[in-house]
Amino acid sequence: MSHSSDVRIVDTADVSPSAAIGAGSSIWHLAQVREDAVLGENCVIGRGAYIGTGVVMGDNCKVQNYALVYEPAKLGDGVFIGPAVVLTNDTYPRAINPDGTLKSAHDWEPVGVTIERGASIGARATCVAPVTIGEWATVAAGAVVVKDVPAHALVAGVPARRIGWVGRSGHPLTERDGRWYCPVSDDSYEEVDGLLREVAP
């Protein structure tokens, strides 16, 4: 088991011996971390959360209670996964094959959700693989993401659509004089061809 000595795993958690858990991480009641999952440093896995086989997470990630992170998801540093979020992994889900036989692991190819650094997925949102959520983006609670989300985008709804931009603080950006500004940090951005990029003040 490649767990650092300062990892906290409560007795009721189910953590595979082949999972790698980074220093300072905590895994809470009834959470399950599957074989060959890799968690970075200072990650928090909430009650009842599921981390699938071979899922890779960066440092400082938070996975809240009862979230389901199915393999082969990849999470960058500082990703927030809200309560009861689902990251799917099956493009054409079926329990049975066309001939009526039960599908096995060999009858389908898992595809993953990629979430880049600092992004947040709100409570009960669903990300339908394969999609990529860009850096510092925010997916609103209850949204269903079926296409890629650009960096700094705020998306909401079913299916999720961009309704604004957010800064690294998570607060919505405000527009003035053709630029976007963070009300917390005063970082400034410009929108070019539907994408946001940071500019010098």
- The per-residue pLDDT string of the chain (201 residues; one tens digit each, 9 = 90 and over) reads 456 669 999 999 999 999 999 999 999 999 999 999 999 999 999 999 999 999 999 999 999 999 999 999 999 999 999 999 999 999 999 999 999 999 998 888 899 999 999 999 999 999 999 999 999 999 999 999 999 999 999 999 999 999 999 999 999 999 998 899 999 998 999 999 999 999 987
pLDDT at 1: 45
Note the pLDDT of residue 168: 95
Sketch the domain layout of the chain as residue ranges. Answer: 2-166
CA dihedral sign, ordered 163, 168, 169, 175: negative
What is the Cα–Cα distance from 119 to 112, expressed in whole angstroms? Answer: 16
What is the reported pTM?
0.94
Instruction: Look up residue 196 and give its two tokens.
Output: 């946001």
Would you say 79 and 58 are in contact if contact means Cβ atoms under 8 Å apart? yes
Q: What is the pLDDT of residue 193?
A: 92
Of the CA atoms within 13 Å of residue 169, those in its CB half-sphere come to 11
Q: Is the dihedral of CA 46, 52, 58, 59 positive or negative?
A: positive
List, as own/partner pairs, every contact residues 27-33 make where C-beta atoms lie below 8 angstroms and the sequence separation is at least 24, other chains included. none
pLDDT value for 200: 82
> CA-CA distance, 191 to 171, in Å (whole number)?
17
162 CB neighbour count, 10 Å cutoff: 15
Which overall architecture, per CATH, does domain 2-166 show?
Answer: 3 Solenoid (2.160)
